[in-house]
Every structure is written in structure tokens, then in C-alpha cells.
Structure 1
Amino acid sequence: MVTGGMLIGVDVGGTFTDLVLADGTGGVSFVKSPSTPDDPSRGVVNALEHMAAERGESLEQLLGRTRVFIHGTTVATNVLVQRNGARLGLITTRGFRDVLELREGARSNRYELRTPAPDPLITRPLRLEVTERVGADGTVLAPLDQVELEEAIAALRAAEVDAVVVSFLHAHKRPDHEAAVRAAIEGSGWRPFVSLGHEVLEREGEYDRLSTAAVNAYVGPALQDYLKRLVGQLKAAGIGVPLFVMQSNGGVLPIEEAGRRAYGAVTSGPAGGAMAGALFARALDLPNLVTYDTGGTSTDVCVVKDGVPIERNRTDLADFRITAPAIEINPIGIGGGSVARIDASGILAVGPQSAGAVPGPAGFGKGGTRATLTDANLVLGLISAETFLGGRMSLSVEAARDAVQADVASPLGVSVEEAAWAVHVLATSGITEGIRLATIRQGLDPRDFALMSFGGAGGLHADAVAQDLQIPTVVVPRMASVLSALGFLAADIRQDLQRFVCRPIQSMTAAELATIFDALEEEGRARLRASGMATDGIRVERSLECRYGRQVHGIPVRVGDSLDPAALERAFTETYRSLYQHAHEGEAGILDVCRLSVYGALPKIDLPAQPVGPADPAPAWRGRRSAFLGTFRDLDVYWFDDLRHGMRVAGPAIVESASTTILVGPGRIADVDGIGNLLLRNG
């Protein structure tokens, strides 16, 4: 197990690569560096070199003292969204080649009857069938035909596919046939990426299993190539410790295993933000917290309840199903790079199209000409052209004004400031609505939560969002612009296991349940030991997936110390009622799946504490700046890094740093707490 020393978290986003370093003595520092979409590993190395330079040491010295390195990347996400992944072939049970295309027989929007179904990840000529059959009880009804298997492997090899998906009916009950396919491929001397259905999903649901295995194979080769390239560069630069990759479930995996289980990294960056939210929720004694991360491309919303991010067992992304535990991230197509435009109906729209890192907003001077949310905020005077990224990146207010004038102001017949304010307000409204939906769909009232804003572009909208939602407290961390990377350093190694049951809850006995969970725990501990974890750093969490008899989808139910079926039935009923405000009294609950998460503890980041000082924020005052908030106003400007515990800023004001800006609205106050956060409330 890795112990002590320097911790580094790196998050590759669509616009910037963020790096957070905890030096082991309570010091925390960070840098932001432009992402390099053509090769994201260059952006990672650039960020590391920048950090080393700021610390007055070489990259080799920095990496040589690193003890934990955790990485989150958008590589898997981008491959899936842009549909530029591996060329896939499928080997499946005879008669089931079209499951991937038929899906579940339903449309994503049942009212759009003319919308064609999404194109499957595997074209029909490359979906091959072989004779084999396993029954629902795991009995072999027909053995695997070796001749047909060899012919299928040869055909896919001749077609030059990059990856092979293997998904047989009921393979989760008996995986022998799928394992035999992998052995046959390896025996042939061919080395494609191989994704087996039973390895990604050990439960019922042939479409869910096949889709998840296909996504794994589609993004796996690109992710493996990227991680291999990154590891090579870091080892050449002097790193000597294992690298971990952030997973969608809020845990991390060793880099080799993360490459094999590529589907787990599809939302790794936003998961880091959720883990940071949970870290701050515990530190601030705010167990119920809604986080939103507004970066360059999008806004990701997460709900932290009782100090733990809410999870889901299924993610639908870019028309594809991934059935695996993941923190529930609710994306909104609004970010700093979101393009503002007048649509075909003559109505102003912001996003979801984004200028991204290249060419970026017009004000960045990298060739972008479209008006974006960042350009609008630059025109409004809310973003300083001189202090952006600590002055390392100069912004052009003139270019931003030209873009907003051409794309928004002229078509609407308003001034450039009024157009920019409209873009700002519309973006705020979109974030507000996204947070409202994320809480209410869980049966939760946003007024019972605190709001935490992070991401480089989030602070300019946080105060208005909270007031719209009647949320009493807003938390803006000092490291708001790199909080996902910081959240990586609050994670543990995590292995998720499950066992399909499909029986009425009260037909089970506590002994039967204990036997299932004990077996899962033994397997999970074995996986962690294979990662080099010591047994004294392991903890487990148990849960169930339950439903009523006539329902298709289950809900997660937490399991405490007791495995008494009557107590579990009550827990299911209470959980169901909290979600839907009613329960089917007298109807038996069905236990579909027993789940177990096994955690191996990694060293954690310590949030730096500050002693309380005077309330006067004068030492952080940087002057006044004219800004347009519907009308022109002169706002006091404070430098975030100079604000200390106990200081209070009265709105309207701007608090800015090298990487983020916070707008404190009229009649509001912002207090600095003991770990450097701004807490915004009514004055």
C-alpha cells in the first residue's frame, strides 16, 4: 500500500488541465494549464512542469517525491460522445445478434415518432452468431460449437476489428463459454481488446450487459493507448509509484485495471467533483449539499445527501447504456465556452455547443470568433482581462465585444452590454433549472440544502442561482476552479461486486444473505490484495437493489449491520416512499441484486485550516471596477488569495483569483471560513 508523502491529482477537462498538489505538511497548491485535445498527455506533463517551476524544482524532483498520483480524464467520454472509438466485432448466442440494435424496444423520447433509433456501436455484418446456449438457471442447454467459434474469430480478424465483444445469453450465471472465447482468441495469436459481458455486468438484462460490454470495448483501446503513453512519459520523467485512475463511482483503480474496465472512467472528472463536495460537506458540517461544476464546456450537478454523493446503477450517455455503479451526475450544456446565438425562432440560446479549448472563446485570442458565455462575462466587466490565469493568458475585451455584438446584440437590436447581460442571465437560469430537476427527481427540496459552486465559471452565477432556489448558504472553495482534481485526493481504491438473486425479500434468511455478502467480500478483498493493498486498510459497504413484483427497475437500498429480512423489507419501503412519496403497502418487495463495495484506503488530503482574524477585508481590496448588472455599477474588487478567516465582503462586489471569479450580489455578504471558503448569505 502507498503511504505518506506528496499527493497529486490531475483532471483533464475540455478546456483546461487542472493539477492539485498536497505536500504532506498541510500545504495545498494548484495550477491550471490549457488542455491539448490532440494528445491529452501533453497537457498533463505541461501542468506538472508548471507546478514544478512554481515550486522551484525540476519535474524529475517533483515526481520523485510523489507518493500518490490520481488521474481523471475525458478521453473515454470524448470517444463515446464523438463516436470515434474502436472498430468492434461481436460474438454472441445464435439468434441474438440484433439485441444491441433493438435495445429495449423503447425510444428515448416516446413522442418523437420520426426520430430514427441511434446507430449501434457494432454494424450488423460484424455481429456474428455461434451455437451455444445457457439456460436462466445456469444449465448448459447447448455446448459452445468450437468450429463456428474459430470461423467467427477468423472472420473478425480478417475484418481488422480493433476489439471483440463477447456476450452470450445468461453468461452471468455460467461464464464458461465467454471465457472459452477469450482463450480461443488468445490461442489464435491475435491480440485485440476483448470485452466479456459477464465481467462488466454480473446480473440479468441481456441488453444492459451487451451495451456495457460494447461501450467498454469501444473506448477501451483509446483509453489504454492514452494511459500507456502517459505512464511512459511520467516514468521517463522520474515517477516511481503506481498511477490510479478516477472512476465514475467515486473510487479509483490501478491504471492497468482501469484500462481493462474502461467503461468505469466515462464520467471520472465529474465524479472527482462530487467526492470533493462530500469532503467539504463533512468538513463544514453541511451533510446535505448540492454541488455544481461549471467548466469550459458544461455544468455538472451532483447531490450529496447525508455526506455521501447519490449514486445510480445505470448511466445513459450519448444514446448508450452503461450499467454500473456511478455517482449521479446531471450534466447541463452550459459552460464558459458555451456558444451564445440567436436560434431559428429568433430566440437567444446559450449552449450546448461549445468553443472548447480550441479555438476557444473569442476573447482568448486563439482564433475563436463565436460569442460565448466567457465573452459575455468579459464584456460585462465581471472577468478581468489582466488577472486571468494569473496574468499568464491575456484576454481581449475588444474581441469579446465584437463577437457578442455580431452574434447577439445586432440580431436583437440591443446594446452589447444588454446582450451580454441577457447571455449571463440565461446561463444562470439554465443552471438553476438543472439543479431544481436534480433535487426534485430524488424527492428532495433544494431549500433544505446548501449550494457549492466550483469550476472556473461557476462563481459568477452561484449567488443568483441560490437566490432563485431559495438556498440559504453558498459555499465557494478557494480552489473552486480545480475542485475535481482535489476530489481525486479524497478517494479510495474501490471494487464493486454484485450477485443476482431475484427473490422476494422475506423469502430469504439472514444466513443466506450473509453467505452471499461474505463471498462477495472475499472476492473484493482478493482484488484489492492484487492491487497491493494491506488488509488493515479495507472497509466494505453493502446494499441491495429492490423493486415491487410488477416493476422492471429497482432502487438502491442501504444495508446496515442487520441482515434481518423484515428489517430489509422496511428499509425498502421507506426508501421507496422517500423517492416517490408513496409505497405499495402490503405488496412484497423483490430483492434483485446484492451489491458490495470494497474500499482500500489511500492517503487523504488535509484541508488547510486558518486561524480567525479581523473582519475587515481591506488587505485584500484591489480597487473598484465598473460592471454591468442590468445597469452600470462600480463594484469593489477583492483578491481571493488575500482574504483570511473571519473577513467579510459586502455585496455588490467581485472576489477574483487567478483561476475563478465570484460575484457577490447586492444585499449579500461573503464570509471567509476556517478552510478558506467563501460562504455567501443574505446580509
Structure 2
Amino acid sequence: MNCASVNVETDCNQSAIAVAPWRIGVDVGGTFTDLVLADGGGTFFTFKAPTNLMNPTLGVLAAVGLAANGLGISIQTLLGHCRVFVHGTTIATNTVLERTGAVVGLLTTEGFRDALEIRRGFREDPWDHRTPFPEPLVPRHLRLPVRERMDKSGSPIRTPDPESIARALDTFRREGVTSIAICLLNSYRNDSHERICAELIRKSWPEVWLSVSADIAPVLGEYERTSTTVLNAYLSPRVVPYLLQLERDLRAHGLPYPLLLIQSNGGAASLEQLGRRAVMLALSGPAAGASALRTVAEMARRDNLLLMEIGGTSCDVTLMNGGEISMVDSLSIGDYHLTLPSVNIHSISGGGGTIARVDAGGLLSVGPHGAGARPGPACYGLGGEDPTITDAHLVLGRMRAGSFVDGLITLDPGLARAAIEARIAAPLGVDAIPAAAGIIRLLEQNLQHAIERVSVECGHDPRRFTLVAGGGAGGLHAVSVARALGCPVVYVPRLAGVFCAFGMCSTDVREVFLETWLKLLGRESTDALEREFSRLISTAKTRLATSGFSPLNMRFERSFDMRYVGQQWLLQVPADSCCVRSVRADFEARHQRQFGHYQPDGQIEIVHLRLVGIVRLPPVRRPDLPLTQIAPVPYELRSVYLDSASGFRMMPVYNADDMHPGQKVSGPALVEERNTTILIGSGDRLEIDCSDNFLIHIAKAAE
């Protein structure tokens, strides 16, 4: 956007001047829709609107309206000066979990219609042999065979039989199918048979939604490819119309550029690029935390980070090691398998609205159910009777009673205490205070285990990492969890309460390109690998250029997916060089770290060549701010429950809006930011760095 910078006076409580052009990130959560506007001068403006679960578009437009009103301008002016509008949503995830997707029909190679139901046999809990897998998203009578065959090297044996396709389509029409998935054997080596089927379907049934595995997941593994393609077919009719309508509404209100969407890999892409690959939005929203983490790494000048992002319903954990975000090639949503590049996010039920219960055996548990936006925690006064994490903090004095988020919610400690007494304290035979403390302690144990899942279990020592607290509830738990993990430092960004929306303002555009290789390391020359990567780069440049990006702003990251011959699991190894010796050394080092051993003379197989095309948008970051030596002044003293050893303590409470870079606070203390609260323990020391964020030095880490 080549418009001149425009100064817009604001009459909102974030008194500042917004300088155009700006970027906007919108994250639709289960409770609130967060909007962050990053202007041309590096200043951030934040807004929250209630999420409309029935029609998320209304929540997004409401947030846009709040932002325009807060800046004292029209919606047309706000959107007209927006250079990048990035959106993240949980609609894809919720569609799978709630089983509200399309009626899907599956066309597959004759003899393989049950691959989707047979699965792989792996279980999240290897000791649980009784819990059944969920029903397949496509029942057997809608998994129909095509008479065709392609051999393992991609050579056609039998072309698709049109009559078998026609019979399947007749059945699909009778059964009310609205979306079709095509997944034929060995199409990852040669997709010509899938293209024949797709062309026949488009001619005879042009209005049906169509997902072709060669477009969605051209990877080795019949079940993984089928499951991913079926999920794409299941999601597309629900997700794509919503996004198309949202883009139309935004464009009608003045947005001059296409809507960008956060993918599971943490990068953004246009709706035009993702229209046929809605499954790429499976982790849209939470994956934006990876972009925010990269920005935090620059501001904190640290590149070993553990992100604990706690919102209203869940806690999402992500690891950055040496500046590299942990990624995976597969994930599971509701026990349905997806094979696609994703940020490695481990999620647990652990948000402010997570419900605590006492079961029939007298055991206290936290989650997995949440109170949602309505009725929400008991303290909201909207009819909720179940005690939540928010209620526990309120009873312990860690949160301030009264109105929040511009009057959208009100916290009533009397209602919180009544819910905990009735549902937790009475069944356990204790007072409300130890009951509330027990809820928090149990949650923080769960948070600790979640972080160990992505660190210790993957060969990383948490004591080398800085714990980053994101989300509205992250600051209340970060110090305690860091102490248990041994993390020496906690970092809380000013925008922690809108962390994912903040990340969307600084995200890159990312496209992943995959080529199946299936050859032993050493049998192919370096030149052959370089030629194949050159071809992938050419394809990537063409794809990115269609979205309007200049080749001058593109960069590419190469890697191999590798394994020992006969091994099930793949390791991703950067392909900075295609030299066989250096690739082997890198693979062996990563295998040693991940599994504790490697085979010095083992045969190594390259399964995939992977290329990530990246368009790096200019970073959004204000210049370093001057430091002050003036001591901050608390606005009140409050009786707050610190821990079981200290009980209630009178501690100072600071208003974060009155605190500036260079100021320091010793614990115990509370710091109240507009969208989050930070609890500092005894002996801990908080300082505000030159990026205007909160750095907490932990007094003593657990041994």
C-alpha cells in the first residue's frame, strides 16, 4: 500500500496516535475475539469483542467496529489504511471435535476401502487397549472402490474404470453426500489416476466439493494420506464459505487487499491459496503463537524459549530452540490423524474457564470441560455454577473484583466462593481457601507436565530456556511453573493477553512444497538433489507470485525427511548443504538427541525433499525505549494467597500502565496489565526491559 502515513487522533483509553499504514491481526477464541492493530510506527492497539460462536464473522466485524470507534475513525478508514489483515480461527478444529462437518464420500482403490478404519493401531495411551477409536468420518457404505491400479514406482497398471466411478457417484447422490475425497493407491508417486477421477466428477457433478489427495497430502502412507484428505473434504464446506463471506464483508467495508489466514505451520496464506486446502487451517489461531514467539525472541534477545499460552479454555505449549520453532509433520485432532507441516503445539485443558470437579471417588480434577463464554465462570454472574480456574484466583485475591474488558465481564468474588464451597470444598471436607489453592496447584502440575512433553521428552533441558507467558492467564501461573521446571527467567510480553493476534501482525507468508524421494543417502549425487530443489524453488516462486509477492521478498528453507531403512518415524534435517557427509552427521546428531542412540553404519533413507517458501514481511517493532530509574508506586496493598507455606500476604499491586522501562519490582507482588495479571513470588525480581515487556528473574529454581 503506497499511501502516505496518516496521523489519526484517538480518544480511547490507549491514548496515542495511530500512524498508517497498519496491520491488523484477529484471533477468534472460544470466549473473546482479539484484535491487535500494529501501526507504521511500531505502536500496538488492542481490542476485544465477545466471540459469536454461531456466526464468527459477526464477532470479527464487531472487533473491527470497536477498533474504529476506539481510534475515532470510520470502519472504512480503518480498513482502507490496512496493508495486511491476518485472521486465525478455531472453526476447523471445532468442526472436527463437534462432528459438524460435511457428509463425505470417499473414492479409493478397489480393495482398500477399509484403510481409513483400520488406521495404524497406535494409541495415545499405550496402556489403554479398551477405549474404542472414534467412528470414521466416512462410514463404510460411503467408502467406495474405483477399479484402477498404480504400482509402487508410479507406473500405471490399470486406468480408472469410468463405470465404477459412475456407480459410486450414484450412491453418493442418493445418500446426500456434499463433499468427495479421492485417495488412490500410490498416487503420491503418480497422480494421473486421481486427476482422471476428478475430471470425470467435475463434468458430471460440478457443484460437489472435491478434495484430491495429490493436492492435499502427496506423502507416503496410505492411511495418513487418506485421513488427511477426508478431513479436508469434511471441513471445506463448513470453513471455506465462512471465510469467503468474511473476506467479502471486509472488502465491502474498504479492505483493499486479500484476507490472509494463519495456517497450521504458523505462516499466512491467502484464501485463494487455501480454498482447496481448508485442512491447513486445523491449528489456525494457536499456530500464530509461533510468529509472536519469533518477535519475542528479538525483543528479549533470547532464542531458547518455552511458550505457555493460557487463554480461556486451553493452554498451548510451543518450544523454540536456538531460534528454531519446533515443527511436526503430523498431528491429531479428536483422534483423527492429519499429515501436514505444523507448529509443534501441545495443548491441554488449562484455561481460565476450565472447570474443576470432585468425582464420585472424592478425587479433585481440573478439566477437560470448560465454562465457555456463556455462562462462563461462576464469578461472571451469567448463570454458571461450576467453579473454574478464574473463580479460584478470585477467591485467593490474585484477581481484582469488578469490571473488566471495557465492561464486557464483571468478576464477583462472592459468587466464586459460593461455587467452590458447594462443588469442591464441601465434597472434600475442607474450607474454600485450601480448595481454591488445590485447584491452582493441580492445574500448575498439569502445566508443568505439558511443558515437559515438548521439552524433556524431546531431549531439551528446561533449565536452558526462558519461559514465555502468553494468554490472559499466563502471567498468574508462569513464576510457579518456571520454578518447578528450573527455568531461571520468565518473560511476559505487554500483549500477552492478545498473544496470538499480536503474532498475526508479524507473521510471514509460508508455503510448504513436498517431493517424495525414497532413495538411500549416498546413492544419489549431490547434483541430483540440487536439481530437484531447484525445480521445487521454481514451483514455489510461481505459487507465491500468484499471491502478489515479489521474488525479491522471497526466501527458501530446504530440508530432508529421513530415517534408517525399516524405521517408522521420520526426522527432519535441514538441507543447507546436500553434501552426503554433512547430511549424515546432522541426521545422526538429531537421532541421538531424539532417541538416545544412532547407528554409525546404518543405511539412511531420504523419504521426502521439503521446501518452505517464505515471504518475510517487514518486522513490527518499536525502537528501544529509554530506561528510567524512578521506582514504581503501587496503587494498593492487597491480601493475596501466595502459596501453602506463606498463606495470605499483604502485597503491593501495581498498575502496569503506570510502569516504564527500567523500573524494577521485588516479589511478592502483583502487576495488573489491561489484559492479564502477573503474580511475582517471594524473592523474585521483575524488571521492565527496553522493549517495554516484563522480565522476571526467578529467585530459586527447583532442583
**Is 2:612 the counterpart of 1:597?**
yes
Distance 2:28 2:206 in 1: 33
Deviation (angstroms), 1:233: 2.2
Going from structure 1 to structure 2, the CA distance change for 1:106 and 1:433 (only over 3 Å counts) comes to closer
- The one-letter code of the counterpart of 2:640 is A
For 1:627, give the aligned amino acid: V
- Which of residues 594, 614, 638 is equivalent to 1:625? 638
Amino acid at match of 1:624: L
Q: How does 1:630-641 map to 2 (within 5 A)?
A: 630=644, 631-641=647-657
Q: Does 1:396 align with 2:412?
A: yes
Q: How many angstroms apart in 1 are the aligned matches of 2:151 and 2:611?
A: 26
Alignment of 1:344 with 2:344, yes or no, is no
Residue 510 of structure 1, aligned match among 508, 513, 526: 526
Length-normalised TM-score, structure 1? 0.97
Q: What is the deviation of 1:682?
A: 3.5
Among candidates 206, 214, 219, match of residue 198 of structure 1? 214
Q: How does 1:299-310 map to 2 (within 5 A)?
A: 299-310=315-326
2:169 corresponds to 1:153:
yes
Query: 1: CA distance between counterparts of 2:131 and 2:38?
Result: 50
Letter in 2 for 1:625: R
Once the two structures are overlaid, the 10-residue window that deviates more, 183-192 or 53-62, is 183-192
SS at 2:512 equivalent: strand
Q: Is structure 2 residue 592 aligned with structure 1 residue 577?
A: yes
Summarize deviations over 1:574-619 as a string: whole Å, max 9, x none. 111122232112112111111000112334322453211124012x
Distance in 1 between residues matched to 2:473 and 2:409, nearest whole Å: 16
Runs of 4+ aligned residues of structure 1 deviating over 4 Å after TM superposition are: 1-4
Q: Distance in 2 between matches of 1:320 and 1:440?
A: 26
* Cα contact 2:113–2:143 (8 A) shared by 1: yes
1:259 aligns with 2:275: yes
Name the residue aligned to 1:610: 625
Aligned position for 1:83: 99
- The verdict on how the C-alpha distance between 1:394 and 1:590 changes in structure 2, with shifts beyond 3 A counting, is same
Between the aligned partners of 2:619 and 2:357, the Cα distance in structure 1 is: 44
| TM superposition shift of 1:158 | 2.6
How far apart are the structure 1 equivalents of 2:613 and 2:175?
40
What SS class does the counterpart of residue 394 from structure 1 fall into?
strand
Which of 126, 143, 151 is the matching residue for 2:142?
A: 126
Matches of 2:618 and 2:238, distance apart in 1: 30
Question: What is the aligned partner in structure 1 of residue 200 from structure 2?
Answer: 184
Q: Hey, what's the Cα distance between the residues in 1 that align with 2:212 and 2:540?
A: 19
Residue 677 of structure 2: which of 636, 647, 661 is its match?
661
Gaps of 5+ in 1: none
Task: Report the counterpart of residue 364 of structure 1 in structure 2.
Answer: 380
For residues 457 and 215 of structure 2, the distance between their equivalents in structure 1, rounded to whole angstroms, comes to 31
Amino acid at match of 2:693: N
Q: How far 1:59 sits from its partner (Å)?
A: 1.5
* Post-superposition offset of 1:203: 2.2
Residues 41 and 622 of structure 2 are in contact (CA less than 8 Å); yes or no, is this contact kept in structure 1? no
Tell whether the 8 Å contact from 2:357 to 2:365 is kept in structure 1 after alignment: yes
Aligned 8 A contact 1:557 1:572 in 2 = yes
Q: Which among 226, 229, 235 is matched to residue 213 of structure 1?
A: 229
**8 Å contact from structure 1 (residues 157, 190) kept in 2:** no
Structure 2 unaligned spans of 5+: 4-19
Deviations 1:39-94 (A, max 9, x none): 11111111111111111112222111111000000000100111111110011111
Deviations 1:471-524 (A, max 9, x none): 101000011011111111222211111111111111121011011111111111
Does residue 566 in structure 1 map to residue 572 in structure 2?
no
- 2:153 is aligned, of 132, 137, 153, to 137
Whole-Å separation in 1 of the counterparts to 2:194 and 2:142: 18
Once the two structures are superposed, the pairs formed by residues 164-563 of structure 1 within 5 Å of their partners are 164-386=180-402, 388-560=404-576, 562-563=577-578
Between the aligned partners of 1:315 and 1:50, the Cα distance in structure 2 is 36
**Equivalenced residues, count:** 680
Contact 2:636 2:652 in 1 (8 A): yes
- 1:121-174 alpha-carbon deviations (Å, 9 max, x no partner): 101111111101111111110111112212212321232212100000011111
Question: Is the alpha carbon distance of 1:293 and 1:682 closer, same or farther for their aligned partners in structure 2, counting shifts above 3 Å?
Answer: closer
Deviation larger for 235-244 or 312-321? 235-244
- 1:387 shift after superposition: 5.1
Distance 1:608 1:88, change over 3 A: farther
Contact 1:478/1:641 (<8 A) preserved? no
Aligned equivalent of 2:26:
10
Q: Using the alignment, how far apart are the partners of 1:548 and 1:189 within structure 2?
A: 45
Partner amino acid for 1:271?
A
Which range is displaced more, 483-492 or 663-672?
A: 483-492
AA in 1 matched with 2:556? V
Q: Deviations over 1:360-403 (max 9, x none)?
A: 11111222111100111111111112352244422222211111
1:348 Cα deviation after fit: 0.9
Write the deviation string for residues 186-213 of structure 1: whole angstroms up to 9, x where unpaired.
Answer: 2114312211111112221111110000
The aligned amino acid for 1:428 is: E
Distance 2:374 2:554 in 1: 43
Distance 1:349 1:246 in 2: 33
Residue range with higher mean Cα deviation, 130-139 or 226-235: 226-235
Is 1:43 paired with 2:56?
no
Shift of 1:298: 0.6
Which SS does the other structure have where 1:674 is aligned? Answer: coil
Root-mean-square deviation (CA, aligned residues, Å) is 1.5
Contact 1:508 1:565 in 2 (8 A): no
8 Å contact 2:37–2:505 — kept in the other structure? no
Shift of 1:308: 2.0
Distance 1:117 1:258 in 2: 29
Residue identity matched to 2:404: F
